């Protein structure tokens, strides 16, 4: 591939600006960059899948065939035989109305002379090859009956059908849990060496790249800024942006945080909380227990992290404590107040003590309100600021505190970047001076370097005001950097509670060990 440029109509800056690289047969290359750097655009260009609104120039040669400007016929031929792609979200990449097997068969049967029976056999053997347990059963299953990891395996099976010379994997593990991610990466690595295919791995996660590719290409704003062997780039980055990316990657061997604000007084005490959902399956009702008689406490000024995979019940726990999801059983105590489960039954003064920051910064701000209105609302409700002058001063103060420019107060949320929006959400929570802040995956939707800044902001705020934080996360790197105590959740139960130091130094529970082992680490050359 050489000098690829992609530009969208009406857009000033090109999405991809003169990118060149080459990838040898059975080699692997990782492309890394922040969101908007042009990673996915590059992948789509290679596959010839860019939308019509894009103008593309330069040249992409796959196995000697030019992709840029190729006819539909050529592209189809190429995709059938030499190229295949693994998409980010396995849930949307499979057709929900077709059985997994049928989707594989359909591709296989496009070849001349492939009988229905032979196709079925081949599909099952492919499913077996990607390590799906009981492949005959999965062959007949519908996509929604598979877990995320299994679906991604099925997609990989689909990608392997044509014995492709090149597999393009666009963030194949981003939507998956850490332990599943480790398995998928392992699978990709194994298949790549078995089948001698080239792999183009696209990810924002340096750890993932490090585990799956030998070479790395760092891109920013559509331009290559650094390339080389993974180990070399990681141990001695040449470009400052690469260095920043490396620094921003949360590492689980970071230094322990110091928290002077921590005290021994209990702030929040949750006992024996059980949260269940009634699920309807056809005509039958089934109870599903998300959180199973769990107890947890948070001290004043303490940062407690709750980690676990998706489905472990950590978000249900957070929402229940916040009063957004009633629990069936248990006791909730904040200082001396017994809290009712419904937020509407809690008194204003108690509501003030407990605030929450949500995962998706975009959906947590009303699109129809300006930043100033969003921040002023809690003040009006709690009447902490009276009169326009007080209000404006309070809004300006809080904006400064969360590191935002005062000019942003007249903007609408869609005019903010993800990081700015999350700062506004944090400001809205902090403006009422709560004593407990619940962060529900508040960093998960953000880019590496932005995540780092928000993490630092939370840390300073926490130290400044002696705030307690209940941090819900799946990211052990974040846990390492900010928490005092860690609660590991698995299937609705606590399987381990330990101090930050103890958890990483000597994990007790098997699941914790598995979780720690699954975190992708950067392969640095030992200095």
Partner 1 sequence: MKLSPATKNGIKLVTGNRTVRACLIILSGVLLLSLIGPFASRHSVEAINFDESLISPTFTDGRVFGTDDLGRDLFVRTMQGIRLTMAVAVVATLVSLLIGVTYGVIAGYAGGKLDALMMRLVDGLYAMPFIFFVILLMVVFERSMLLIFVAIGAINWLDTARIVRGQTLSLKRRAFVDAARLTGVPSMRIIFRHIVPNLMGVVVIYITLTIPQIILFESFLSFLGLGVQEPQASLGSLVSGGVDSMEVAPWMLLIPASFLALILFCFNFLGDGLRDALDPRGDAT
Q: Which positions touch partner 1 (CB under 8 A)?
A: 53, 319, 322-324, 343-344, 348, 351-352, 354-356, 358-360, 363-369, 377-378, 381-382, 412, 414-415, 425, 428-429, 432
Report the distance separating Cα 410 and Cα 227, nearest Å.
42
- Residue 381 CB, nearest approach to partner 1 (Å): 5
Dihedral angle at the C-alpha atoms of 79, 146, 361, 463, nearest 10 degrees?
-120
**Structure token digits, residue 128:** 């077996």
CB neighbourhood size of 147 (10 A): 14
| DSSP run (H or E) holding 38 | none
> Smaller CB distance to partner 1: residue 117 or 278?
278
Only one residue has tokens 């021994």, namely: 264
Say which residues have a Cβ less than 8 Å from residue 315's Cβ, sequence separation at least 6.
440, 441, 472
Q: Three-state SS for 383?
A: coil
| DSSP run (H or E) holding 146 | none
- Residue 354 CB, nearest approach to partner 1 (Å): 7
> Smaller CB distance to partner 1: residue 419 or 520?
419
> Smaller CB distance to partner 1: residue 232 or 360?
360
- Residue 439 CB, nearest approach to partner 1 (Å): 12
- Residue 184 CB, nearest approach to partner 1 (Å): 29
> Smaller CB distance to partner 1: residue 303 or 318?
318
Report the distance separating Cα 525 and Cα 234, nearest Å.
8
Only one residue has tokens 């009988």, namely: 115
Say which residues have a Cβ less than 8 Å from residue 486's Cβ, sequence separation at least 6.
304, 305, 306, 307, 479, 496, 497, 498, 499, 500, 503
> Smaller CB distance to partner 1: residue 365 or 478?
365
In the sheet with 468-473, reading across from the earlier edge strand, the strands are 354-357, 436-440, 468-473, 303-307, 485-490, 493-499
> Smaller CB distance to partner 1: residue 219 or 429?
429
> Smaller CB distance to partner 1: residue 241 or 401?
401
- Residue 482 CB, nearest approach to partner 1 (Å): 22
471 closest CA partner among 463, 461, 482, 460 = 482
Report the distance separating Cα 396 and Cα 404, nearest Å.
9
> Smaller CB distance to partner 1: residue 360 or 463?
360
- Residue 359 CB, nearest approach to partner 1 (Å): 8
> Smaller CB distance to partner 1: residue 124 or 318?
318
**Phi, psi (rounded to 5 degrees) for 192:** -60, -40
- Residue 210 CB, nearest approach to partner 1 (Å): 33
N-terminal to C-terminal alpha carbon distance within the chain:
34
Q: Which residues pair with 305 in a beta bridge?
A: 471, 486
**Structure token digits, residue 487:** 């609660």
- Residue 374 CB, nearest approach to partner 1 (Å): 8
> Smaller CB distance to partner 1: residue 23 or 408?
408
Asked if 422 and 454 touch (Cβ cutoff 8 Å), the reply is yes
Report the distance separating Cα 297 and Cα 273, nearest Å.
12
- Residue 454 CB, nearest approach to partner 1 (Å): 16
- Residue 45 CB, nearest approach to partner 1 (Å): 19
């Amino acid at each position: 591939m050489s000098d690829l440029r992609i530009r969208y109509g009406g857009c000033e800056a090109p999405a991809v600006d003169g990118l060149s690289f080459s990838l040898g047969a059975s080699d692997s290359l990782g492309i890394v960059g922040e969101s908007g750097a042009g990673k996915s655009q590059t992948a789509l260009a290679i596959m010839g899948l860019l939308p019509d609104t894009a103008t593309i120039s330069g040249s992409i040669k796959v196995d000697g065939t030019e992709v840029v400007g190729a006819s539909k016929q050529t592209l189809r031929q190429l995709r059938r035989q030499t190229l295949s792609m693994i998409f980010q979200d396995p849930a949307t990449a499979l057709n929900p109305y077709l059985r997994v097997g049928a989707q594989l068969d359909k591709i296989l049967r496009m070849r001349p002379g492939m009988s229905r029976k032979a196709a079925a056999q081949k599909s099952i053997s492919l499913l077996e090859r990607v390590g799906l347990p009981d492949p005959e059963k999965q062959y007949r299953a519908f996509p929604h009956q598979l877990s995320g990891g299994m679906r991604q395996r099925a997609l990989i099976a689909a990608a392997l059908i044509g014995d492709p010379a090149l597999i393009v994997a666009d963030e194949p593990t981003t939507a998956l849990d850490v332990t599943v991610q480790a398995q998928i990466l392992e699978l990709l690595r194994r298949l790549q060496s078995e089948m001698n295919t080239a792999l183009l791995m696209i990810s924002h996660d340096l750890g993932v790249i490090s585990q799956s590719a030998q070479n790395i290409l760092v891109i920013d704003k559509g331009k290559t800024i650094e390339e080389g062997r993974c180990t070399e780039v990681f141990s001695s980055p040449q470009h400052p942006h690469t260095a920043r990316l490396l620094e921003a990657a949360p590492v689980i061997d970071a230094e322990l945080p110091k928290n002077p604000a921590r005290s021994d007084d209990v702030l929040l005490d949750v006992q024996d909380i059980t949260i269940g959902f009634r699920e309807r399956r056809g005509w039958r009702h089934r109870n599903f227990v998300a959180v199973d008689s769990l107890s947890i406490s948070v001290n004043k000024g303490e940062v407690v992290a709750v980690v676990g995979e998706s489905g472990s019940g950590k978000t249900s726990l957070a929402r229940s404590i916040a009063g957004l999801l009633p629990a069936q059983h248990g006791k909730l105590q904040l200082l001396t107040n017994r809290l009712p489960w419904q937020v509407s039954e809690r008194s204003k003064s108690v509501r003030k003590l407990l605030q929450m920051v949500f995962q998706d910064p975009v959906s947590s701000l009303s699109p129809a309100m300006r930043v100033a209105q969003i921040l002023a609302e809690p003040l009006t409700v709690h009447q902490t600021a009276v009169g326009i002058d007080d209000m404006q001063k309070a809004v300006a103060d809080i904006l400064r505190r969360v590191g935002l420019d005062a000019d942003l107060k007249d903007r609408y949320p869609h005019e903010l970047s993800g990081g700015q929006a999350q700062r506004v959400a944090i400001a809205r929570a902090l403006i009422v001076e709560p004593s407990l802040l619940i962060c529900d995956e508040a960093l998960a939707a953000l880019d590496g370097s932005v995540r780092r800044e928000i993490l630092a902001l939370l840390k300073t705020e926490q130290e400044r005001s002696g705030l307690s934080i209940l941090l819900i996360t799946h990211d052990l790197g974040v846990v390492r950097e900010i928490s005092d105590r860690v609660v590991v959740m698995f299937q609705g139960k606590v399987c381990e509670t330990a101090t930050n130091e103890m958890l990483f130094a000597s994990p007790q529970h098997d699941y914790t060990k598995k979780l720690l082992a699954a975190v992708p680490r950067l392969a640095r050359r030992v200095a």
